[in-house]
Chain A
């Protein structure tokens, strides 16, 4: 480990300990069960929840592991479908400037809409709250990937396409060996933004639909006034967000290339 890196780690640890100390000190005067819980209380609650994360005592009492898995399952389905659609559409738009310009106004209108705004329409049309949440994930992870893919494909150097044209590659080899690898850095950057916004959206969506999921868990624990659980769930959401992003960061390094 380099000296600089060591120093950075030290700073981080000092800051973390200081924050926890301030937090603990600020709640020290509270009577037990009153006011915000401190880090020690959260840690105790976390210990209990992690001791048995996958228990299932009916609809309103499930382990935090099950709740997270439910959220990740929805995320996986909605995100995977959205990514496939966004990459396919992005490639088509990127290869056809006229179509790109024609579709772009609609994308610009749809993009700033909070994915949660669609929820009533999804609930009304498909009449299944679980799938409505998946569709919210779909909407939240569609636009960044779509926009980045189209951008990446538009900006592929003409030379690469010329080589593909001279070699008369069939369309699928042109796609798999030239277009997608050339645009891969931009596409993965979009996928990375998308998974972040999808993970943000799932919590809110699950608060609305209820049933299962980490978002529902947060809301349910708030109704139970179990703030230690709420705080631990918040931390768990953050950590999983970091892991999801790190996974795509690895993918991005694998697919990166330089001229």
Chain B
């Protein structure tokens, strides 16, 4: 059951605690989202799971092995896409596929890459460089790159924060479709309450930083497949949304609460995490 175990992880920066004693585990194939205010360290936690940062205390265990550094079993989809700007769409994905399958022939790699290019609807844009693509298209490349290596765990770091609102919904649907087929274990970090409810099996709520803590983990008991259109009228959705927004507002009773007032009215927190 304990596939990915976040074992009492704490992180300090320059002697100041960002978050401490965060402990939960994610089952295989589960989609867990973390929501919290800017500065609660949720992206830092994601980086620790990715192996890009080290925890100050505690550790992360993936299928029985402690994580000590980055690895191909955990692919990250970055908020700023992080595509190689000197490579084409095709080459960006191919870099990952070749890394995952060094023993494959060039042809097999190319076929595999093409499959994922097609899957995210970028057929015809293979030879373009990221600079020639919109934010939405870039993140499609990011998703294709991550899914193409079939990682055990997908780490999504506010993947839709830099995509315009209309495109965001379309790409969320694509993520759901790809994830339904692959059933990777997913840990996502977001500001977007609606997005979290739409996508997640469980939602982890962080208190406000510094010295943030894991407050609670709420199961999302809305049957899949979920669509945004049905979700809007679902009583369970409304209950969860209210619950989360109340939590976020109350968590922010300390100074700096103004931004949460905005969040409560829009259902979206201002994105400030880096």
Q: Which residues does A use to contact B, with CB under 8 Å? A: 157, 159-160, 162-163, 165-169, 177-178, 181-182, 184, 255, 257-259
Q: How far does the alpha carbon of A167 sit from the alpha carbon of B75 in the complex, in Å?
A: 8
User: Does B27 sit within 8 A of A, measured CB to CB?
Assistant: no
* CB pair B72 A257 closer than 8 Å: no
Instruction: Look across to chain B and name the residue whose beta carbon is closest to the beta carbon of A159.
Output: B82
Closest to B84 in A: A160
Q: Looking at the assembled complex, report how far the CB atom of B88 sits from the nearest CB atom of chain A, in whole angstroms.
A: 11
Taking the complex as formed, is B143 at the interface, i.e. its CB lies under 8 A from any CB of chain A? no
A159 to B71, CA, bound (A): 15
Instruction: Find out whether the CB atom of B131 lies under 8 angstroms from the CB atom of A163.
Output: no
Instruction: Give the CA-CA distance A160 to B145 in the complex, in Å.
Output: 14
CB contact between B95 and one of A165, A167, A182 (< 8 Å): that residue? A167
A-B contact pairs, 20 of them (CB 8 A): A159-B80, A160-B82, A162-B76, A162-B78, A163-B82, A165-B69, A165-B70, A166-B51, A166-B71, A167-B72, A167-B149, A168-B70, A168-B72, A169-B95, A177-B95, A181-B84, A181-B86, A182-B84, A255-B86, A257-B86
**CA of A162 to CA of B51, assembled, Å:** 10
Whether B96 lies near A167 (C-beta < 8 A) is yes
- Is there a chain A Cβ closer than 8 Å to B209's Cβ? no
Bound complex: CA A182 to CA B75 (Å): 21
Q: Are A162 and B52 in contact (CB under 8 A)?
A: yes
Shortest beta-carbon distance from B80 to chain A in Å: 7
Contact of B129 among A166, A169, A257 (CB under 8 A): A257
**Cβ A166 vs Cβ B131 within 8 A:** no
The size class of the interface chain B forms with chain A is 20 to 34
CB-CB < 8 A to B99: which residues of A?
167-169
Q: How far is the CB of B47 from chain A (nearest CB, A)?
A: 8
Report which B residues bind A (CB closer than 8 A).
50-52, 69-72, 74-76, 78, 80, 82, 84-87, 95-96, 99-100, 129-131, 149
Bound-state CA distance A163–B72 (Å) is 10
Instruction: Evaluate contact between A257 and B95: CB separation under 8 angstroms.
Output: no
CA distance A146 to B100 in the complex (A): 34
Give CA–CA (A167, B94) in the complex, Å: 11
How far is B269's CA from A69's CA once the two chains are assembled, in angstroms? Answer: 67
Contacts of A182 in B (CB 8 A): 84, 86
Nearest B-chain residue to A182, judged by Cβ? B86
Query: Can you list the 9 inter-chain pairs with the closest CB atoms, starting with the nearest?
Result: A159-B82, A167-B99, A257-B86, A181-B86, A165-B70, A166-B70, A258-B131, A257-B85, A259-B85
Q: A165-B70, A177-B95 are in contact. List 13 more A-B contacts (CB 8 A).
A: A159-B78, A159-B82, A163-B82, A165-B52, A166-B71, A166-B72, A166-B74, A168-B70, A168-B71, A184-B86, A257-B131, A258-B85, A258-B131
Instruction: Report A-chain residues with C-beta under 8 Å of the C-beta of B75.
Output: 166
Interface of A is mostly: helix
Contact A166 B50, CB 8 Å, known A159-B78, A159-B80, A257-B129:
yes
CB distance from B71 to the nearest CB of A (A): 6
Determine the distance from Cα of A177 to Cα of B99 in the docked complex, in whole angstroms: 12
Alpha-carbon gap, A220 to B76, bound state (A):
66
Docked pose: A255 CA to B87 CA in angstroms: 11
B84 engages A178 (CB within 8 Å): yes
Distance A181 CA – B82 CA, assembled complex (angstroms): 15
Measured CB to CB, the nearest residue on chain A to B100 is: A167
CA distance A157 to B72 in the complex (A): 20
In the complex, chain A residues whose CB is within 8 Å of the CB of B74:
166
Shortest CB distance A246–B (Å): 22
Distance, CA A182 to CA B50, complexed state (A): 23
Chain A proximity of B135: nearest CB distance (Å): 12
Point out which of B74, B80, B87, B99 has the most chain A C-beta atoms below 10 A from its C-beta.
B99
| Shortest Cβ distance from residue B216 to the other chain A in the assembled complex, whole angstroms | 30
Asked whether A162 and B70 contact (CB < 8 A) given A167-B99, A169-B99, A257-B129, the answer is yes
Minimal Cβ-Cβ distance residue in B for A166: B70
Give the distance to chain B from A62, nearest Cβ to Cβ, in Å.
45
What is the CB-to-nearest-CB distance from A102 to chain B, in angstroms, rounded to a whole number? 25
Closest to A184 in B: B86
Tell me the smallest distance from the CB of A86 to a CB of chain B, in Å: 21
Cα-based distance from A182 to B83 in the complex (angstroms):
11
Q: Smallest CB–CB gap between B202 and chain A, Å?
A: 25
Cα distance A256–B130 in the bound complex, in angstroms: 13
Give B151's nearest chain A residue, CB to CB. Answer: A166
Give the one of A157, A162, A166, A177 with max B CB within 10 A: A166
Query: Which residue of chain A lies nearest to B91 when distances are taken between CB atoms in the complex?
Result: A177
In angstroms, Cα B78 to Cα A160, docked, is 11
